Structure 1
Amino acid sequence: MDAADVPTETVRVLLVDDQELFRRGLRMVLEADPGLEIEEAHDGLSGVARATASAPDVVLLDVRMPGMSGPRAAAAIKEVAPSARIIMLTASDEESDLLESIRNGASGYLLKDSSVDQVSDAVRRVAAGQSLISPPMATRLLEEFRLLATRGEPEPRGTKLSDRELEVLRLVALGHNNREIGQKLFISENTVKNHVRNILEKLQLRSRVEAATYAVRERLLDLP
């Protein structure tokens, strides 16, 4: 779809970010576009509440916020406002954050160094039904999937992995970082790092994204 094909009617946007200065500043510049109506929420929980009340067309959602993370908020928003389209707008270029966001219903993933014009354009494109990922993240993700696709099939269902390694792999695929995995399994962050390294070596994978994709493909997450 070309830019000329993107609808120009008013788009109702919910901006969810715990950094007030960033949130207010972005609202001011986006409101210069007469086709965008902006409202705010200061964290994930209030974002879900606001989405429930107003059913926005597009939600701009930070990834890392206190209380409820952006990806978890995205999943909750899709429950209460199924028609809302979600764009993660974040400083995080972590592949695990991108993967978790997409798994939880995000249609876009933009880094906060994007220009105002890029954000405004992304809002309209995602509202029109497109999906959009910042070029640096898209390039990285596509490369990871290309490498995975050109490699031979791993052994089915993680048969090379220990029970603990399978636990770690499942949590990696759910988007948790090493610190969070350590807290959930009551082990140190260094131990988690060692487990992740062993998982990648045993499965002949090169990154957490490949490991997460493997876990989803082999149905190790017990997802529907």
Structure 2
Amino acid sequence: MKKIKVLLADDHSLFREGVRSLLEDQDDIEIVGEAEDGLEVVKLVSKLNPSVVLMDINMPVMDGVEATRAILEAGKKAGIIILTMYPQDEHVFEGLRAGAKAYLLKDTRSKKLLEVIRKVHQGEAVIDPEMTTRLLTELKRLAEKPEEDMPRVQSLTDQERKILTLVANGASNKDIASEIDLSERTIKNYLSVIFQKLQVNNRTEAAIRAVKDGLVEQKDVKGL
């Protein structure tokens, strides 16, 4: 079995110890390294090539948002899960825009954390339900911006628009593949094209774009 390589990044050793203990009990997960600050995270990702990074948002030297941006701008494919203590953390949306795949509260149950690690490894995105209020507030703010501030969904084909609609409504790649009778690999390829056309980094930003252009209703957007 090919294991999911995970890098732990948090400046609190006690928290890392707790997460490490949980992950070491999983047959499909391997901890490849640990970091105490954002700059160290960036260096270790380059060296160790983890599949998933558990990233504390508040770290010395370089915070989780900056580290996420640096990792992805360097072309690394790690799925980044940003962790925070507070559902109203002001950096929530910044992290998602930087390219994080998931955002979770640090008091998330162990079972949920393991589920999210596996989903992110598969390319999915996840947002803690308690943090959706913050996301929807940002959606509303962006929806009120002038149209020229963002690219529009009109450049998408009918198939791409359908996929974007499903993404905005919380569907996973597997769900979308089943809905339109295509392989998950094909769906991933479609999403890459959609992200490029819309000039976004992830599913969350794509969903925001869909709301902004009226492709879906804001009330229908679910945690991705």
Q: Note whether the superposition's TM-score is higher than 0.5.
A: yes
Instruction: In structure 2, give the amino acid aligned to 1:42.
Output: E
Unaligned runs of 5+ in 2: 150-207, 213-224
Q: 1:94 and 1:140 mapped to 2: Cα distance?
A: 6
Residue by residue over 1:56-89, the C-alpha shift from the partner in whole angstroms, topping out at 9 and shown as x without a partner, is 1011100011111110011111133521110101
Q: 2:43 and 2:147 mapped to 1: Cα distance?
A: 44
Matched, 1:62 2:76: no
Once the two structures are superposed, the pairs formed by residues 71-220 of structure 1 within 5 Å of their partners are 71-80=65-74, 82-142=76-136, 144-146=138-140, 149=143
Unaligned runs of 5+ in 1: 1-7, 158-212, 218-224
Residue by residue over 1:186-218, the C-alpha shift from the partner in whole angstroms, topping out at 9 and shown as x without a partner, is xxxxxxxxxxxxxxxxxxxxxxxxxxx9xxx9x
**Superposition deviation, residue 138 in structure 1:** 2.0
Where 2:100 maps in the other structure, the secondary structure is coil
Partner residue in 2 for 1:34: 27
**Superposition deviation, residue 106 in structure 1:** 0.5
TM-score, normalised by the number of residues in structure 1: 0.60
Matched, 1:24 2:17: yes
Report the RMSD for the aligned CA atoms in angstroms.
2.5
Moved over 3 A (4+): 146-149, 153-157
Matched, 1:15 2:29: no
Which one has the largest radius of gyration? Answer: 1
Aligned residues: 150
Q: Is the Cα contact below 8 Å between 2:55 and 2:80 reproduced in 1?
A: yes
Q: 1:121 and 1:129 mapped to 2: Cα distance?
A: 13
Question: CA 1:154/1:95 → structure 2, altered by over 3 Å: closer, same or farther?
Answer: farther
**Superposition deviation, residue 144 in structure 1:** 4.8
Question: CA 1:10/1:65 → structure 2, altered by over 3 Å: closer, same or farther?
Answer: same
